[in-house]
Amino acid sequence: MNFKVNFEDDQIQMKLLQKEEFNDLFEVAKDPKIWAQHPESDRWEKEKFSIFFKNGMESEFGIYKIIDKNNNRLIGSSRFYSFDKKDKAIRLGFTFIATQYWGTSTNFRIKKLMIEHAFNYVDKVYFDIGEYNFRSRKAVEKLGAVLFSSDDNGMVIYRLDEMGFLASEKPSLL
């Protein structure tokens, strides 16, 4: 099982992020609009973002930088986390992209590349999302994920299986 691979389609490229690229990623992340619906709405602050970055770097699965291939610009990041061998599942998240890519096919493309890879090894992909992060909730629902549970900390969990994902693929988004 290998989750530390590069991903690419005709518009985006995803590579493991290096420690030296903190400032490059922070240039994208420092936009407060990105975090407005997020439970950690102050993650745009450098100190808070440093914790996010450090946790991603220390993750056994790493953290991916997302590059727009049209202009070779770093536009965000995403990662895998919390592999559950017994449940044959992994979590995908901590994804953010620059606001100028909102409303485009970029998030769908990112998730599609990662989900297709994940289904080589697991049966389910979970997404942990803040209860009031309606933008992210709608995005995973478009992928075919369904609301699975919620907790007392203001988080909702969506589950996606391969059949749900395949049924949701919309060529018009690509």
CATH, residue 70: 3.40.630.30
Q: How many domains are there within the chain?
A: 1
- Does some domain include residue 2? no
Please tell me the distance from the alpha carbon of residue 57 to that of residue 10, in angstroms, as a whole number.
Answer: 27
Instruction: Please indicate, yes or no, if residue 160 is contained in any of the structural domains.
Output: yes
Range of the domain at 117: 7-169
Q: Is residue 145 part of a domain?
A: yes
- Does residue 50 fall inside a structural domain? yes
Question: CB count, 10 Å around CB of 90?
Answer: 24
Residue 174 lies in a domain: no
CA distance 4 to 16: 7
pLDDT tens readout for residues 51-109: 999 999 999 999 999 999 999 999 999 999 999 999 999 999 999 999 999 999 999 99
* Domain-embedded: residue 1: no
Render pLDDT for 28-46 as a digit per residue (tens, 0 to 9).
Answer: 999 999 999 888 999 999 9
Phi, psi for 65 (deg, rounded to 5): -90, 145
